[in-house]
Amino acid sequence: MADDTFRSVRVERVGDGRYVAHNASGATLPIGGEDFTPVELLLAAIGSCTATDADAAISRRVEPETFTVTVAGDKVQDESGNRMENLVVTFRVELPEGPEGDRARAVLPRAVRLSHERLCTVSRTVELGTPVKTVLED
């Protein structure tokens, strides 16, 4: 039986300050240069994780007219090292008028809260402060 809990990506250098991330399904994502920085990818991971959770809850009821999640924060450098602080995830969701839109509006706050408190693996990992181990292979 395969381990369905294991996740990984491979990041390969493709040029000066430029990288490509590869996942198990063969998708690629350019990083650096004119593309996303690693910090922007962290913010995108938080936003897309919580967006996915909330969207699943509301789109079963109605298709949103607009659905945007913005993640912002401050990059700080001090004696503790570089990190992000003051992270804020902001949802802007417009739903159509009518009974389906009303039902979606009713579940949206709970969906966002549950994503933040339990479901979004990315933001939960950041908030809980999971240690990161670094290995240098021969």
Alpha helices (H) along the chain: 38-59, 99-114, 121-128
Residue 3 has what pLDDT? 78
* Torsion sign across C-alpha atoms 26, 32, 33, 34: positive
Give the predicted TM-score (pTM) of the model.
0.92
Residue 2 has what pLDDT? 67
**Residue of 113, 131, 106, 133 lying closest to 50 (CA atoms):** 113
Residue whose token pair is 């063969």: 26
Residue 1 has what pLDDT? 61
pLDDT in tens, 75-99: 999 999 999 999 999 999 999 999 9
The rounded mean pLDDT for the chain is 96
* Element holding 90 (H helix, E strand): strand 81-94
- Sites in the chain below the pLDDT cut of 70: 1-2
- Please say whether the structural domain 38-128 has been given the CATH code 3.30.300.20: yes
121's tokens: 């693996």
Q: Please report, for residues 3, 60, 126, 130, the alpha-carbon distance to residue 6 in angstroms, rounded to integers and kept in the order given.
A: 6, 29, 18, 15
Beta-carbon contacts of 6 under 8 Å, excluding residues fewer than 6 positions away, are none
Question: In the chain, where are the structural domains located?
Answer: 7-36, 38-128
